[in-house]
Amino acid sequence: MAKTFKSLLGDDAANTRTLLHEAIPITGTIVSGTYSSAGAANNVKTFSHGMFTSVYDYPYLSSSANHIFDITYGHSPQASSSVKTSGGSVVMSQGAKKLNIYNQMAQTLMGYDVSGNIRLFDSDGTLDDSTSIMNHCFFLNFTRLLTKDEIKKNSFRMSLYTSGSVVNRKENTTLGDYASANEFRTSPAGDYGLLFTSSVGASGPLGNAASVGLIFYQAGVAVISSSIFDAGAGSSAPSTNAALIAAGGVREFGPPSGLAGTGSVSAAVVSGTITQIANGLRHRIDDIDFNNTIELNSAIYFCRINHNEFNYSSNPTYVSGSKLRVKNNVNDLPVTYITSVGLYSPDNELLAVAKLSEPIRKDPNTELTLRVRLDY
């Protein structure tokens, strides 16, 4: 009398894919160390190995703290191991670690060439190691908490102070993947786009040559060339890119208590440790914004109930003695109230239960189609 199960047919199921986006703002006050005590930023964590610096949205010893991204620095095998300054030649500090970080990131993000060598980062994205090589790179590794499945293309913006002293920062330059809405590339780590200093630079006469970095969407990694801070002398940045020509370049890259005796970023990345370089970059960041992407896969089941189905209940409370509780006399139609739908496997194992917001009346005069969606 009371039908309990009904098999779903092929036309009763469908699969959909939905992309959800969330705006992620990261202010420079958090990056530079909002929570400080005795001159130390409690939401910025350094490590004894000195390979990277972690930034949190709250003091990292707190249970409420969320890890948001890491900052590190690396140089390519082609980078010089020393730099000349007014005080003489300065030898590379932590040279092996800086090289290992560059190679590790390049191996993961760029892969290998046909000869089996690790591809170097190049700002034009052509994978041609003979041109536009980024020898000195800052790496920002964003956590999955922020990026989710990936960073939405054409949403990444990063504002940097690219000139002036740390106390008197100037030339607020915004990097963005302006051209990625219509043009992006693919690497072993997924899709990546080029970072430009303006939307004009992305489509201007220089084209891809005006790029100063890369953004890897699925990996959640931004690679920024140090040349954006060294637009004065000896920079490999395009001399015709107006946004990179900050008169005199950076006079003091690191924070006031950070890199001693380093004028330009070229000297800082050689003489400074990775932690010092990361601190210098942190104090140059004004704002970071992007939209993340959540890929929501859904299985939709259409549970169709015909007029002659599910009009009776197998619940013991449905009857009282030999009478149906919902019938006042023998001629009344049977009535049920649907409150939930169970999805079962072929061997009658309960897999999922869908609850209705309110009971739905069902009798022989009505037919229903209940739409059940499973998100994963």
Residue 5 within any structural domain of the chain = no
> Does the residue 300 lie in any domain?
no
Tell me, what's the pLDDT at 59? Answer: 87
Compute the average pLDDT of residues 121-141: 84
**53: number of Cβ within 10 Å:** 23
Whether 54 and 103 map to the same domain: the answer is: yes
**Does residue 175 lie within any of the structural domains?**
yes
pLDDT value at 183 more than 60 = yes
Tracing tokens 């993947």 back to the chain, one arrives at 177
Confidence of residue 334 (pLDDT cuts 50, 70, 90): confident
- 334 and 290 in one domain? no
Please tell me the predicted confidence (pLDDT) of residue 257.
45
Pair (91, 224) in one structural domain: yes
35-39 contacts, C-beta under 8 A, 24 or more apart: 35/59, 39/257
> Using one digit for the tens of pLDDT, what is the confidence trace for 256-313?
444 444 457 777 788 788 998 898 888 889 999 999 999 999 999 999 999 999 888 7
Question: How much is the pTM?
Answer: 0.77
Domain span holding position 359 = 306-375
Count up the domains in the chain and report the number.
Answer: 2
Does one domain contain both 277 and 341?
no
Q: State mean pLDDT over 13-39.
A: 84
Element (H, E) at 82: strand 82-85
Domain assignment present for 231:
yes
> What per-residue confidence (pLDDT) applies to 303?
94
- In sequence order, the β-bridge partners of residue 369 are 304
Is the pLDDT at 220 greater than 90? The verdict is yes
Q: Containing H/E element for 266?
A: helix 265-271
Q: Answer whether residue 29 is part of any domain.
A: yes
